[in-house]
Each structure stands twice: as C-alpha cells, then as structure tokens.
Amino acid sequence: MRPDVNWWTDDKIAFYERASMYSSFHRKLASIIEEHIAKSDTILELGAGMAHVTSLLHYDGYDIKAYDNCANAVNFVNRREKIKLLTLSDACSLKEKADVVLMLFFGSIKDGSSLDYFLSLARKRVIYVISRHKGNPYSTRKDRRNEIESLLSENKMKYSIIDTSLNFDQPLREDEVEKYFSLSYENDNIPDLDRTNDDEYPLIFRNKKEISIFIIEKEEDR
C-alpha cells in the first residue's frame, strides 16, 4: 500500500528534523549502506521522505536519484539542500532502473508480486530497511522481519540480513510532549522522559530503533 501523500505535515517535519540534528542516526545508517554499494553504482531511492541518507550519499560522491510522492516533503528537502535532491513522483510506478534500489523505512515487500516490482528496478540489488518496532512500547506496528525473511526464502532469493539498533532520540519542549506522541505514535500513554541541560529542549525521548537491513541480490531471470 502506498503511503499517504500528505503524511509529511509541517509538524512531523519539524520533529523529525530536530531528532536528526541531535543524533547520528542517519550517518550511521548511511555508513552501513555504503558498505554494500560501489562508488560506480547508480542508486535509486524510493520514498525518500526527509532524504537525510540521500543527502549523505550524494555528498559522499554517490550517483543517487531519490523520489517521494509527498509534495510537502519534496519542497522542504530541496529548500534545505539548496539543490534538487528529491523528485516528486509515485515511487510505486517508476520505470527507471539503477544498479541499487534503496527502500529505507518505505514500501511493503509483502508478496511475490511486490518483491518482483522492486527487483525489476534494480540491476544488482535491493537494500530494504525496516524498523522492527521492538524496544519501543509506544509503537503499534508489528515486527515484520521474520515474515519478510520467509518470503525471500520461499522465492529462493539470495539475501543477507544485518540486525542493528540505532538511537533516534527526540528532544522536546515541555509544551510539545503531548503533540509529539499523538502525531508519532497515536498513543495517549506518554512515558517518563529524561531531563537534559538544554534550556531550549529540556526533555528528551530516548528512542532506540531496532532495525533490520535486507541486502537482496538481483537474479538474472527476475
């Protein structure tokens, strides 16, 4: 199922940008991904959202094109980067191909047909990153790691999995706590937050993200 084209509201962007600025989450994730991409590879990123990994790969010298179907996200990212880093397009109906396709917390590999579509865009491999929603009791989403691994095995795919955890902590003002949890988790149960020495953002939500990175190799007959 495609994401809501209006998912990236101004409030969600503001919270996300602040968390990215205060953490090394995207730098660490980009470094893991770069171990599986050659500098000569072309890269296609689907549903890039705020495009922080896209930006890091671009400035690290990789040939990357990124797409998202939310105009608010595309406009914000291109203003932030001062270049056209992100293109407005439905990432689920592209015809363009690249050596490597990136799907970072985007898309649903749920059956053989969806797997075949994403593989059809890649010449070498698909790198698919999911949040396992473990260790965060405020997420209502399920852990799909085993489900995806079973699908890849059933389709006799060559793949590897990297399981890791990265912190994506959210600094907050006192008056933002309720809004943040209603936007991000749709949850009325607000946890105890840590105190900081930052006068502007005296509270912080420790958000440890358990993630799985699937490196799915392209076969010649797919």
- Output 91 or 76, whichever has higher pLDDT: 76
Rounded distance, CA 67 to CA 89, Å?
6
45 within 8 A of 66, measured Cβ to Cβ? yes
43 within 8 A of 109, measured Cβ to Cβ? no
Into how many domains does the chain fold? 1
In terms of Cα–Cα distance, which of 6, 3, 25 is closest to 16?
25
Residue 107, domain extent: 10-169+207-217
Identify whether 2 is part of a domain.
no
CATH number of the domain enclosing 66: 3.40.50.150
Identify whether 66 is part of a domain.
yes
Looking at the chain, the whole-number percentage of residues with pLDDT higher than 90 is 77
pLDDT tens digits for range 132-168: 875 555 555 678 999 999 999 999 999 999 999 999 9
Give the pLDDT of residue 133. Answer: 73
Task: Give yes or no for residue 1 having a pLDDT over 50.
Answer: no
Identify whether 120 is part of a domain.
yes
pLDDT tens digits for range 158-209: 999 999 999 999 999 999 999 999 888 776 678 889 999 999 999 999 999 9
